[in-house]
Every structure is written in structure tokens, then in C-alpha cells.
A and B are shown apart, each in its own frame.
Chain A
Amino acid sequence: MFLINCPYCGERDQTEFSCGGEAHIERPKQPTELSDDQWAEYLFMRKNIKGVQFERWNHAHGCRKWFNMVRDTSNDKIHAVYKMGETPPVK
């Protein structure tokens, strides 16, 4: 269990948040031109990194806003939190 610093509300308990998985997966710009392989890549394939990973989180039981997080999945340490649309910090 860890504390998460919501960019809108400040530090709150992790149980208030839900994780939306890997961040910065871009929605295909031309969906009709995608092959099945490209769809599979977009929909299902994940980096699932052991180490520093970029993720989307939602403050579900708070402000209900989405934001991004840089977290080390090998020790659950949070390195940075930033709003949607902001440039991801360099790790």
C-alpha cells in the first residue's frame, strides 16, 4: 500500500485510486487502415516492465480526474506524477 500524490487533490491513500494501465498508448489515427496485427498490438500487447513504467491512474474516489504516473514496478516507488497532456518527465 502506498500514498499517491494526486496532481489535483494532493496526497491520498492508494485505495482511493484505480489504475488504468500503461500510459501513452496512442489511439490509431486511421483505424480503418490498421491490419489485424496492428490492432492486436494496440489492444493487447503491453510492455509490462519490471522497473520504471509510465501509467495512467484515476482518482476514482476523489476528484475523478485522470493523470499519469511514473512508478517503479519492482519496488512500488513513485517517481513522478503529472497531468494528462503534459510532457512525461525524463526518467
Chain B
Amino acid sequence: MKNKYSIFSLIKNALSGHENWQRAWRDPEPKKEYDAIIIGGGGHGLATAYYLAKKHKVTNIAVVEKGWIGGGNTGRNTTIIRSNYLWDASAGLYDHALKIWEGLSQELNYNVMFSQRGVMNLAHNLQDVRDLKRRTHANRLNGVDAIWLSTEEVKKFCPIINTSPNIRYPVLGGTLQKRAGTARHDAVAWGYARGADAMGVDIIQNCEVKGIKRNGNQVEGVETTKGFIKSKKIGVVAAGHSSVIANMAGIRLPLESKPLQALVSEPVKPIIDTVVMSNAVHAYVSQSDKGELVIGAGTDSYVSYTQKGSHNIVEETLRAILELYPIFSRMKMLRQWGGIVDICPDASPIISKTQIKGLYFNCGWGTGGFKATPGSGDLFAHTIANDEPHQLNAAFNLNRFVSGDLVDEHGAAAVAH
């Protein structure tokens, strides 16, 4: 049983020099067999294991991770959380996640630093205005909070934005989702890992999957760098490397893996207390609790597994940032990095069974998976436990690419990538 984190445990451990904190999770060797194996120890994978154990009482689970937990896209995203998607299926999916976020720190007894500071999306031309107003109405019909702001209201909400009509892409208004915001991404992985571990889930790090063993049309287990592990149910949550795992199982997915970049500036005093995204000029920015500006750039246009990304992408983003926020013109950027995102043709995720029995995929989150972490884990756990999707992820099946029933969020998701 895990010790509960509280003000009393903090005081107690402070008095003993912080030397007696209990390990947050074990470091076990893999057993020979599990009831379910989750491939990928990022936020989504750990959340899947957590909800499998908590809601479906499947506790004999291994999460196998080739590196360290949260070292992939979980630790590389820009931590933005929102649910203002256009289509009904997406609104249902992402708002389900947002509702879990609202109580997540309490549920996990782990501070994920969820901050509902609002996310504002800017419009820069008449078509943007029409699209964003339409999305605002669609959001409200789906019970997702959204309001339209005029240029003056945008300026009032975030005074450092340049709202002059004389810039290349003037701000013509924007939308605001007040329930949206940010969270500490590492804490999400750690919180779910600690919670899952407490219920008996084995988190096995530095264990790379090398093959998927099949007996006819049924999975038998995974070959890993720590030996063969048997299981009749395998959930793959491998983000950019989903196709690599799919190839091991002999199936193909409708995915392309591309580097997506982000960067942070030197830390400064609080200057922007919300998240501002701009679709048309491709710039989005927020400020971390440490004071760094957190800036998201775009994806490269070609498949690549190098976690770097091209320099011209960063240049384009910073150009847009400077025009919208002239106050940042002399700031220095500290770090830049890339993560490999798996993009679906319709820019919506896949949380689905496959044609192989016992093999499940949770992938295709593309450039915006972090926000969905709790909902994704919850629904994928449901799908694995029942061998059937939950009604909220039924639309996000693999078969939609055959039936043509796509959930096209490319233009609708409020970010153009």
C-alpha cells in the first residue's frame, strides 16, 4: 500500500531530511505471463493500465517501455488541454478527458498541476472568423464551453497581443474555452504510474518490444529485450512507433510518423496567463510555472523518426510569434526538441480492436494527444477489458478507413497540422 501524499506526510518527511520517502513505483522483472500487456509507458499507456486495474479489476498487467516512462511524447508536448473540437464524436471524446482532468489530482493523490487558465484561438481572416464561430456554436450544442471574442475582447483578455490592423495577419477575433488550460506533463505519467503500481501493475522500463508472437489469428505474447512475455491481450500505445509495432504483427495502419517540434524560452516573470493558439499563422504560446514561454511549432512534411525536426519550421513559428507578440522580440530561446507524432489521414485517433484477436491499438493521436490522456486511457481500458469499444470511442475504430466514416478534424481541430 502506498503512503498517501498530504501536508502531514510532507511535514513528516521534511523533519527527516526527505530521506525516507517511499518509492513511487517498483522496478520489477517481468513475470512469465500476464492477463494483459501494454506496450508503451507514456501517459496514455500508463493511464490504460491504471483504469484496467481500477475499473475493470484486471491487475495482472505489465506496461513495457523501451526507454523510461514519460520519456517520449508525454514529456515533449506543450501541455495544452482543451476539448473545443468540431465534430460530435471528437467533442464527446475530448470533453470526456477534460472532465477527468478536472478531478485527476485528487483521484491520483498526485498533483498534476492542472490549471484551467483558458485556451484562446485567434482568427486572422474572414474564413477563420466563420469557421471559429461555427465551431463555437457546435461546441455549445455538445455541452462544451466556448465563447466568441471580438478583437477588443481578445486584447482585454491577453493585453500583450498585437491587435493593430496594420500587421500582415490582423487579429479579427477569437474563441475562448475557459475550462481549457495546461497540466504538468511529467506529473501525469508519474501519477498514473504510481497509481497503477499501487494496484499491482508491473511497470517494466528499458524493455523494448522486438516482436509480436501470433498463433494463427490470436496473439500469444511479446518478444522483448528482457525475454518472451506471454499474454492473450496486448494493447499497443506506442505513438510515433505504432507502425513499427504493427509491422511486427503483420498488419498495416493508416499512419505517417513525423517530427513535431516545440521550444521554450529563457524564464521570465509572468507575462501571459493563458494559452493562445493561432491556426492561420501557426503559432501557439503559453507560459510555464517556471516562467519559460512554451511554444509549439509545426510538423515536418515528411516521414521521419529522428526526434529533431527541421530548422525552417521553427523559424516560421517564431516569425509569427514575433508579429503577434512584439514584446518577445528580444527573448532568447533556451531549448528546442522534437517528438514523433503518428498522424491519421483524418487527424483523429484510433482506439480500436484489430483483425487480430487480442491485439488492440491506441494510436493516431497526431499532434494533440496529451489533452486526451485520461480519457484515452479510460476508453482503451474499456475496449481491452470488454473486447468492445465504449460508445465514446466507437467512432474511432480502425474500420472507419474501410467504411469511409471518417472523423475529419483536419481543419476543424483549430490547429492546422
Chain A interface (Cβ < 8 Å from any Cβ of B): 1, 14-15, 18-19, 21, 36-37, 39-41, 43-50, 53, 55, 73-76
Contact = CB atoms under 8 A, between A and B. Distances in A.
Interface stretch (B72-80, B87-95, B124-132, B301-309): B301-309
Interface centre among A37, A43, A48 (most CB of B within 10 A): A48
10 contacts: A15-B312, A19-B302, A37-B402, A44-B401, A45-B252, A48-B257, A48-B303, A73-B305, A74-B306, A76-B304
Contacts of A45: 252-254, 401
A53 B303 contact: yes
Interface in B262-306: 301-306
Contacts of B311: 1
A74 B305 contact: yes
A48 B302 contact: no
A3 to B, nearest CB: 12
B202 interface: no
B157 to A, nearest CB: 35
Contacts of B252: 41, 45-47
Contact of B303 (A18, A37, A55, A75): A55
Contacts of B342: 48
B412 interface: no
Contacts of A49: 243, 247, 303
Nearest to B244: A50
B413 interface: no
A43 B254 CA distance: 9
Given A1-B310, A15-B312, A44 B301 contact: no
Interface residues of B, number: 25
Interface string B340-372: 001001000000000000000000000000000
B402 A48 contact: no
Q: Is the interface of A mostly helix, strand, loop or mixed?
A: mixed
Contacts of A14: 310
Given A41-B252, A43-B401, 16 more contacts: A1-B310, A19-B303, A21-B256, A40-B401, A44-B254, A46-B243, A46-B254, A47-B243, A48-B255, A48-B342, A49-B243, A49-B247, A55-B303, A73-B304, A74-B306, A75-B306
A19 B256 CA distance: 12
Nearest to A36: B402
B256 A46 contact: yes
B54 interface: no
Contacts of A37: 402
Contacts of A75: 306
Interface string B232-253: 0000000001011001000011
Given A1-B311, A50-B244, A40 B402 contact: yes
B403 interface: yes
B316 to A, nearest CB: 10
A75 B308 CA distance: 10
Contacts of B257: 48, 50, 73
Contacts of A15: 310, 312
A76 B254 contact: no
- 9 cross-chain pairs, A with B, having the tightest CB-CB distances, nearest first: A19-B302, A48-B243, A44-B254, A45-B252, A40-B402, A44-B401, A40-B401, A50-B305, A1-B310
A70 to B, nearest CB: 13
Contacts of B404: 36
Contacts of A48: 243, 253, 255-257, 303, 342
Contacts of A44: 254, 345, 401
B401 A73 contact: no
A1 B103 CA distance: 43
A76 B301 CA distance: 13
A33 B314 CA distance: 46
Contacts of B345: 43-44
A1 B303 contact: no
Nearest to A2: B310
Nearest to A53: B303
A56 to B, nearest CB: 10
